[in-house]
Amino acid sequence: MSDSFRLIALSYERFATLFGQSDAELGAIGARRMIVDEKPGYPCRVSLADAEVGETVVLVPFIHHDVSSPYRASGPIFIRDGATTARPGPDEIPTMFRHRLLSLRGYDAGAMMVSAEVVEGSDLEESIRRLFADESVSYLHIHNARPGCYNCRVERA
């Protein structure tokens, strides 16, 4: 089994219509339009990059683990206006992960959590490989450890 992995970003097309909605329409679905006022601080789950100061983002509730298991989960995510969907290559770790404390959650084929750890972003690659060394782990989710927000899925390459 290969020990290569790939980070999977969310598709911009899934969120593009949010940017044409009014603040009232966004509020009706629990979302908020915001102007970025610091960097880092607004990690985009589409571009897998921190938004730049002055950019528009939408903070939206998102079901990031849409499964039939007790681990079905949702939470807030930032999306940058006009973001390009990131497609990191095998074993590539985008910069936005390097300066964060992260939580890794490993799930089996039945969407049950079988492993978890907290890691400094600078050690992310090593942690991904360690969790994938367990053959029962089918995929991982990366979250920001302190706020708990979802970042992306990790699959074996």
Percent of the chain with pLDDT over 90: 98
What is the structure's pLDDT at 70? 98
pTM of the model: 0.95
Mean pLDDT, residues 34-50 taken together: 97
What is the structure's pLDDT at 2? 66
Split at pLDDT 50, 70, 90, the class of 3 is confident
Burial class (CB in 10 A: 0-12, 13-18, 19+), 16: middle
- Taking the domains of the chain in order of start, what are their residue ranges? 5-156
Mean pLDDT, residues 29-47 taken together: 97
- The string of DSSP codes covering 48-104 is SSBPPTT-EEEEEEEEEE-SSSTT-EEEEEEEETTPPPP---TT---HHHHTSEEEE
pLDDT of residue 149 exceeding 80: yes
pLDDT of residue 1 exceeding 60: no
What is the structure's pLDDT at 75? 96
Chain segment 84-98, per-residue pLDDT in tens = 999 999 999 999 999
Name 124's Cβ contacts closer than 8 Å, sequence gap at least 6: 93, 97, 98, 102, 104, 142
